[in-house]
Amino acid sequence: MGIKKFKPTTPGRRWMSVVTFEQITTDTPYKPLTVTLKKNSGRNNTWRITVRHQGGWHAKKYRLVDFYCTDKKGVPAKVETIEYDPYRSAFISLVCYKDWERRYVLAHTEMKVGDVILTDEKTELVSGNRMEIWNIPTGLNVYNVETIVWQWASTVRSAWSTAKIVSQEWEYTQIKLPSGEVRLVHKKCYATLGQVSNPDHNQMVIWKAWRSRWMGKRPTVLGKSMNPVDHPHGGWEGHSPIGMSAPKTPWGMPALGYKTRKRKKSTNRWILKTRKGKLMV
């Protein structure tokens, strides 16, 4: 993998960069595993904007990625393609199981066409194999992690992310997430060995505004450029200071350093150490 930089033939090309997509083997998705998602542009059922700065993205199909895999225990699958997914930062892979069923799975950094992967309670320690987390030795990297037993994998799915098995203790396993948080996960949860693909994703430079519009991101206006009626930072002339000790959101809530997580949230008991390095008691 690598990053491709363009010649400055236009202002939009200057400093612009994209991933070379050397790992990609096809540009046509498997049609039975694609659907069209309804686009609401950040609006609710009354068509009021509840999430700002969304809308206007390029037409694209959603790939149905399998985040369960538990109904295919013991059935080997052969990697047929490695594809780009417009809805996620990581690459995906089309695999064909021994019973001829095809599914999309998240690809890891070393995956290539012809590899055979397996999902079972205990398998070989090979990248791409998926197993119960208590069968994975400490120190190994995993991704696509379940946090609730018999639920889909909801953690460590973005490009180049990986978690590490810290220790195996009684009924739970300690894993260190990409943020640095150490969390308890039940030993019956599943995880995939390896590291998520597309390691150069964070090196891309968007540069031109229209490329962000393709991605569904509408323009953002600074609060201090608005009027006082529109934003707490608004007023005065030009880009004057915000006139307060700390920045606020458009609705008056603190914007930086303010903890939004509930102190008595039920899942706090599974967190041993926060991403700031603070021990939970």
C-alpha–C-alpha distance, residues 33 and 116, integer Å: 20
Q: What is the pLDDT at residue 218? A: 96
Q: Does residue 281 surpass a pLDDT of 70?
A: no
Range of 106's domain? Answer: 3-201
Kindly tell me if the per-residue pLDDT of 111 is higher than 70. yes
Same domain membership, residue 241 and residue 126: no
Token duo for residue 129: 């194999």
pLDDT tens-digit readout, 46-62: 999 999 999 999 999 99
CATH number at residue 271: 4.10.950.10
C-alpha–C-alpha distance, residues 40 and 54, integer Å: 9
pTM of the model: 0.92
What is the per-residue pLDDT across 116-160, written as a single tens digit (0 to 9) for each? Answer: 999 999 999 999 999 999 999 999 999 999 999 989 999 999 999
Which residue, 201, 230, 263, sits at the end of a domain?
Answer: 201
- 137 falls within a domain: yes
CATH number of the domain where residue 143 is located: 2.40.50.140
215 within domain boundaries: no
For residues 196 and 249, membership in a common domain is answered with no
Within a domain: residue 217?
no
Cα dist from 13 to 27, 47, 56, 113, 146, whole Å: 23, 36, 21, 33, 41
- Pair (161, 280) in one structural domain: no
Tell me, yes or no, whether 214 lies in a domain: no
Asked if the structure places residue 127 within a domain, the reply is yes
Could you tell me if 69 and 178 lie in one domain? yes
> Looking at the structure, do residues 139 and 271 belong to the same domain, yes or no?
no
pLDDT digit string, tens, across residues 71-110: 999 999 999 999 999 999 999 999 999 999 999 999 999 9
Q: Are residues 131 and 252 in the same domain?
A: no
Q: Are both 118 and 243 inside the same structural domain?
A: no
Same domain, 239 and 181: no
For the beta carbon of residue 151, count every other beta carbon within 10 angstroms. Answer: 13
